Amino acid sequence: MNIFRLTGDLSHLAAIIILLLKIWKTRSCAGISGKSQVLFALVFTTRYLDLLTSFISLYNTTMKIIYIGCAYATVYLIYMKFKATYDGNHDTFRVEFLVVPVGGLAFLVNHDFSPLEILWTFSIYLESVAILPQLFMISKTGEAETITTHYLFFLGLYRALYLINWIWRFYFEGFFDMIAIVAGVVQTILYCDFFYLYVTKGESGSNKINPAKVRFCHK
């Protein structure tokens, strides 16, 4: 494992922990898209079905279990424990517009036409757009709490580091996965404007980002 994949995994884990701590400490899930979290839970469930069929390493298995467990814990906190604080009026993105096309694409473009491979491909495609309900919700409310922007930043950083990981693996291991790379590029692009606003927000000392300026949220 190279340093870019390791730091990418740690950035992903940091994003998940930041979100969970935010919800638990504030006893509120205000500003968080439950729909995005359901999509991420679906991503991890369909991607890590190989937990039942193969063992790669203790690290690999542990991280998969943590991702799945944290995803469902987040969904539970939003829709069950702190349901009263969930802002469903602003979390209105039509997720079927993501799931249905992604499911169709996974059937048509995959490495191998087998159930596990199609579900893995589905998870890769879905992850690239799963954050859209959250970005859409931010654009509707007009503001994002600092803790939420940190969560989004680390998610974006995770994808950017994985892009570097794939470049590294191509040059030093000869590994090349077009499906994962294209999906990763799409996901990273979705964060580009957010990264710019995150950095400029930090430089200006502002406590909140005004996502009305995030252009891709309105396209």
- Asked, for residue 208, whether it belongs to a domain, the answer is no
SS3 of 97-159: the string is HHHHHHHHHHHHCCCCCCHHHHHHHHHHHHHHHCCHHHHHHHHHHCCECHHHHHHHHHHHHHH
- Asked, for residue 114, whether it belongs to a domain, the answer is yes
The count of structural domains within the chain is 1
* Helical packing angle, 58-76 and 34-47, nearest 10°: 150
Contact 144, 138 (CB under 8 A): yes
SS3 174: coil
Q: How far apart are CA 162 and CA 96, in angstroms?
A: 27
- Asked, for residue 212, whether it belongs to a domain, the answer is no
Averages of pLDDT over each 10 residues, the chain, 219 residues: 92 95 93 95 96 91 96 97 94 95 96 94 95 87 72 87 90 88 85 65 50 42
- Asked, for residue 19, whether it belongs to a domain, the answer is yes
Task: Count the Cβ atoms, other than its own, within 10 Å of residue 170.
Answer: 13
Mean pLDDT, rounded, of the chain: 86
pLDDT of residue 95: 96
- Asked, for residue 217, whether it belongs to a domain, the answer is no
- Asked, for residue 169, whether it belongs to a domain, the answer is yes
Note down the domain range covering 11: 3-201
- Asked, for residue 211, whether it belongs to a domain, the answer is no
pLDDT of residue 187: 84
Contact 92, 36 (CB under 8 A): no
Question: Residue 144 forms beta bridges with which residues?
Answer: 209
- Asked, for residue 102, whether it belongs to a domain, the answer is yes
